[in-house]
């Protein structure tokens, strides 16, 4: 019950703040004289939003305990750890690079804190305390690069078409493609290094703190 309660509360917080962020972006677009769809499109332009969507999805599937292929995928330790890497990078990049670039107030501040501080903390604790141990391989760190690299490619394509870049370190307009590609390489190295660290932590914890799920769906092989 403590495990389920923690996940349920975390999932509710995650979906609530995502709904709030979507509402704010739609209202902001409308206030600027733009169609609401522009706010929806921007919602899916940010890695922060996408990583939080993945976190909320994992937490929800863990609460449901369904035997569906969808649930089995998102509750597998390899997927859960990949999502942990994404949300940790979201928090770290914001704290180290982005938090000084704007100063939100009101509901924007609520969404900002929840997306960049609260959810990374809640999910990291979930990963540390409740995830089954010993199912990760060093090669998984390379596989977890697929999502952030796909996002980078999409963001550059979207920016080339519409002129909007979600983050200053991939803004081709101001930095140019060589610098953006170099920044992307550094980010990929950061993701890979964090992935290796999470595998190392998992292996260390498997020796002293084994954790078992109440069902077997989370520990089936994922290739």
pLDDT of 215 above 70: no
pLDDT score of 121 more than 70: yes
Spell out a b/e string for 1-18, using b for 16 or more CB atoms within 10 Å of the CB, else e. eeeeebbeebbebbbebb
What value does the mean pLDDT take over residues 89-109? Answer: 93
Listed ranges 62-71, 94-103, 142-151; the one with the highest mean pLDDT: 142-151
Count of domains for the chain: 1
Question: Which whole number is the average pLDDT over 31-45?
Answer: 90
- DSSP state, residue 118: I
Domain that holds residue 174: 2-219
* Cβ atoms of 85 and 145 closer than 8 Å: no
CA 4 and chain centroid, separation: 21
pLDDT tens, residue by residue, 167-198: 999 999 999 999 999 999 999 999 999 999 99
62 and 54 Cβ atoms separated by less than 8 Å: no
The pLDDT of residue 211 is: 58
Please give the pLDDT value at position 213: 60
């Amino acid at each position: 019950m403590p495990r389920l309660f923690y996940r349920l509360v975390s999932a509710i917080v995650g979906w609530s703040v995502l709904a709030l962020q979507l509402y704010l972006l739609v209202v902001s677009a409308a206030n600027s004289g733009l169609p609401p769809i522009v706010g929806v499109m921007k919602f899916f332009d940010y890695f922060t939003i996408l990583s939080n969507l993945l976190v909320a999805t994992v937490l929800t599937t863990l609460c449901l305990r369904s035997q569906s292929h969808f649930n089995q995928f998102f509750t597998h330790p390899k997927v859960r750890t990949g999502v942990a890497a994404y949300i940790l990078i979201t928090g770290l990049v914001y704290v180290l690079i982005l938090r000084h670039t704007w100063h939100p107030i009101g509901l924007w501040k609520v969404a900002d804190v929840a997306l960049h501080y609260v959810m990374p903390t809640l999910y990291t604790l979930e990963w540390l305390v409740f995830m089954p141990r010993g199912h990760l391989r060093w090669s998984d760190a390379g596989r977890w690069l697929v999502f952030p690299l796909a996002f980078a490619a999409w963001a550059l394509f979207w920016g080339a078409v519409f002129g909007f870049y979600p983050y200053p370190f991939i803004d081709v307009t101001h930095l140019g493609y060589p610098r953006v590609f170099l920044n992307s390489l550094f980010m990929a190295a950061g993701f890979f290094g964090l992935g290796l660290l999470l595998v190392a932590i998992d292996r260390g914890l498997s020796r002293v703190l084994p954790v078992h799920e109440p069902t077997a769906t989370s520990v089936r092989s994922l290739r």
